[in-house]
Amino acid sequence: MSGIIKPKALQPGDTVALVAPSEPIDRVQLSRVEAYMTRSGYNVKAGNNVLAKIGDYAAGTVRQRAEDLNNAFADPEVKAVFTLVGGMVASQILESVDFELIKKNPKIFVGYSDATTLQMAILAKIGMLTFHGPNALSLPDFKVSGYTLTNLWRVLTATSAVGTIKPQSVWQEVRQGSAEGILFGGNLSCLSKLLGTAFDPIAKLDNIFGKEEKFILFWEEDYEQFSEIMRMLWQIRNSGFFARVSGMVVGKLTAVAEVDYQDFPPKKQLIREVTEPFNFPILYGVDFGHDVPKATIPVGLRTAMDTKKFTLEILEAAVV
Write out the catalytic residue numbers. 113, 220, 290
CB count within 10 Å of CB 189 equals: 22
CA distance 119 to 187: 10
Phi, psi of 67 (to 5 degrees): -60, -45
Q: Phi-psi category of 305—alpha, beta or left, where left has phi over 0 and alpha has psi -120 to 50?
A: beta
58: which residues sit within 8 A by CB, 6+ positions away? 22, 23, 24, 65, 87, 89, 92
CB count within 10 Å of CB 67 equals: 19
CA distance 173 to 259: 26
Residue 281, preceding peptide bond in cis (omega within 30° of 0): no
